[in-house]
Every structure is written in C-alpha cells, then in structure tokens.
C-alpha cells in the first residue's frame, strides 16, 4: 500500500510540474508578443545584427 501511495504522489507531482511548465511557457510567449507589439507601435528602428564578412575573408598576407 505504501508503494502505491508513493507512486501516486510521484505521478501527481510530475503532472503538476508539466502543467506549470505549460502555463509558464504560455506566459513567456505572451510577454514576448507584448514586447514585440510595443516595439512595432513605437516606430523606433530595431537593431539587427549584421555579420561582418571582412572578418571571414582570407587576408593577402596570410600564407
């Protein structure tokens, strides 16, 4: 009987952890959506990282 109780408690805790993870993920997505929506509404330019190709090109003095 004790093994069954321990198994039920363990299963319940995993289910609750999974449910909390889903709600936390949804809350994070909503926060990110609000952040991007507010950035779009402010008409400010958004910085976009650009890779510098001159760093990747071989140099003439390299043997």
Q: Which residue has the higher pLDDT, 54 or 31?
A: 31
Q: Is the pTM of this model over 0.75?
A: no
How confident is the prediction for the chain on average, in pLDDT? 79
- % residues pLDDT > 70 (the chain): 65
Q: Indicate if the pLDDT at residue 47 is higher than 80.
A: no
Q: For position 20, what pLDDT does the model report? A: 93
Rounded Cα gap, residues 42 and 19, in angstroms: 35
The tens digit of pLDDT for each residue in 17-36 reads 999 999 988 888 887 777 77
Report CA dihedral (24, 30, 35, 37) to the nearest 10 degrees: 170
């Amino acid at each position: 009987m004790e093994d069954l109780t321990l198994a039920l408690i363990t299963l319940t805790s995993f289910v609750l952890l999974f449910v909390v993870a889903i709600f936390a993920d949804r809350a994070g997505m909503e926060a990110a959506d609000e952040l991007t929506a507010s950035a779009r509404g402010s008409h400010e330019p958004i910085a976009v990282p650009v890779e510098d190709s001159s760093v990747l090109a071989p140099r003439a003095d390299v043997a």
